[in-house]
Amino acid sequence: MEVPLSAVDIAWVYLHRTGEIVDGIVAARFLTDTIETMIRHGQRNRMFLANMAILKYRASRSNVVDIREHA
């Protein structure tokens, strides 16, 4: 019997396969917090939850500026 994937699992697998996860701990925390907030607001559709978490993660990453040291 297969265990169905949760919304967090779906979002994680997608972002991991597309190479968008920079820091696993930060990404995991962001996804779980985002999905938990949506569940608390009444959303239950796991595909909707996963897709919105992916979009919000991408948006959060677009605001990050990488710091590079000059060699």
Per residue of the chain (71 residues), what is the pLDDT tens digit? 455 689 999 999 999 999 999 899 999 999 999 999 999 999 999 999 999 999 999 999 887 665 666 65
The answer to whether residues 7 and 34 touch, using CB atoms and an 8 Å cutoff, is: no
The reported pLDDT for the residue numbered 59 is 93
pTM of the model: 0.82
Structure tokens given for 48: 């909707």
> What is the pLDDT at residue 62?
82
Q: Which tokens is 3 given?
A: 């265990």
